[in-house]
Amino acid sequence: MTISRALFLVALGMALGTQALAAPNESQIERGHHVYQKWCYPCHGPGTDKPGTNAMAAQGLKPAVLEERTDLTPAAIKGYVRHGIYFMPTFRKTEISDADLDAIAAYLTRSNKPAATK
């Protein structure tokens, strides 16, 4: 991936980070946890043997473990999964369906605080 594409995806994630969050339902969160364990945990779980976690820590992102973050947005998660970033591969809909991706996003944003309304 080119650096400009990576920067675009990071900027997109930051720009979409201000979206209000709808509360996900418990069954979707549970499904998201299951799908996350299969596809995401091998790279983004805790431990020094997780390349995604190590890469995020090297960039100064804290916490580096995705499950501990409260600043991720569904749109950013979906963008990273579908388009990749740095050495993270892209995942096709035949690997992670849109419904499963929605569930992963619900799981990873379950602890986020709703955006303040004006």
* CATH architecture for residues 3-16+25-108: Orthogonal Bundle (1.10)
| pLDDT digits 0-9 by tens, 41-59 | 999 999 999 999 999 999 9
Supply the pTM of this predicted model. 0.76
DSSP string, 37-92: HHHTHHHHSSSTT-HHHHHHHHTT-SS-SGGG-S---HHHHHHHHHH-BTTBPP--
What is the share, in percent, of the chain residues with pLDDT greater than 70? 75
Q: What is the pLDDT of residue 18?
A: 41
Decide: residue 29, CB within 10 A, 0-12 exposed, 13-18 middle, 19+ buried.
middle
Q: What is the pLDDT of residue 8?
A: 46
| pLDDT digits 0-9 by tens, 98-116 | 999 999 999 999 988 766 5
3: pLDDT confidence band, cut at 50, 70 and 90?
A: low
